[in-house]
Copies of this chain bind each other. A is one copy, B any other.
């Protein structure tokens, strides 16, 4: 008796209203009179009715779906960004779906391809960067309102919202210099993300401007096992002796690997007089508090990036195909002092 309702027609009859009115109700509950709204809602509750999504989306010009695409969900940084964005999308009345390309450009394209057939209202995309298939990405961005997050690709999408890499590195370099000595820059030889390039460039510029000689160590290794790469790279580096007392890692995951290697070698890392090394990094990874020693790092403004990017996408969706000028927004970092330097 409670589950005999299969479609809107029956729901309409059960609640004593016409089907177009019920349809209107689902489109916007406030568009019907309070009295009819209550009748409809009573029937919905009584029969546990939910409209058929597929029938809805087939006929609507625009769905309420949004895609969230990140390079690697197993990376806590992206997991956190994705979580925040997902929540905000729900609050804005959309149905977000999360996708991860797991560092694979081919999969990134496949995700976007299958996303296209979901006719999403919009997409929040944190692209792989260098590895991405730019032509396919560009084609996609032209067919679906897309906002780029975290990693920028020139001219692509409606807008870019991310973190200001220069702010990160300037603060960490400044801090290390002010409280000790100019740092060596420790990074991946072939980073899988454009942000790494900006960090390197900022490091060089900053060192130059302060009158120091930039010194960069690029460790080999591909893929997304950054800790492993940092670990091996640190061992290789330290095999040749300690190059400098201060080290700045391009990102926290490399630093985690570095600290692990340093620990194994019995090197003490920190700002105490007896310590052999000082280490700082960027990102404020969720585990940066729990490394040994805890990691001095520059923190993203997760909340600002996620709220701004969702807000931008929603605005873009609501005002239709209004092509404003593409805006790029970069939020500064917040230096977090811990025990590693």
Contacts and interface: CB of A to CB of B under 8 A. Distances in A.
Interface of A: 50-55, 57-58, 73-74, 76, 79-80, 82-83, 95, 97-98, 100, 102, 113-114, 116-119, 227-228, 231, 256-257, 259-260, 263-264, 286-287, 289-294, 339
A114 B102 CA distance: 26
Nearest to A118: B53
Contacts of A339: 264
22 contacts: A50-B113, A50-B117, A52-B58, A52-B117, A54-B54, A54-B55, A54-B119, A55-B58, A73-B82, A73-B98, A74-B76, A76-B76, A79-B79, A227-B287, A228-B289, A231-B289, A256-B290, A259-B292, A260-B294, A264-B293, A287-B287, A291-B292
Given A54-B119, A73-B82, A291-B292, 18 more contacts: A50-B116, A53-B54, A54-B54, A54-B55, A54-B57, A73-B79, A95-B114, A97-B97, A228-B289, A231-B289, A231-B290, A259-B290, A259-B292, A260-B289, A260-B291, A264-B293, A264-B294, A264-B339
B50 A58 contact: no
Interface residue SS majority, chain A = helix
A256 B118 CA distance: 41
Given A73-B73, A260-B292, A53 B117 contact: yes
A286 B53 CA distance: 38
A337 B247 CA distance: 31
A77 to B, nearest CB: 10
A85 to B, nearest CB: 13
A227 to B, nearest CB: 5
Contacts of A79: 73-74, 79
Nearest to A227: B290
Nearest to A290: B260
A103 to B, nearest CB: 11
Contacts of A231: 289-290
A65 to B, nearest CB: 10
Contacts of A98: 73, 98
B97 A83 contact: no
B102 A83 contact: yes
Contacts of A55: 54, 58
Contacts of A228: 289
A74 B76 CA distance: 6
Across the A-B interface, the 6 shortest Cβ-Cβ residue pairs: A292-B292, A263-B292, A54-B58, A260-B290, A74-B79, A54-B54
B100 A83 contact: yes
Nearest to A95: B114
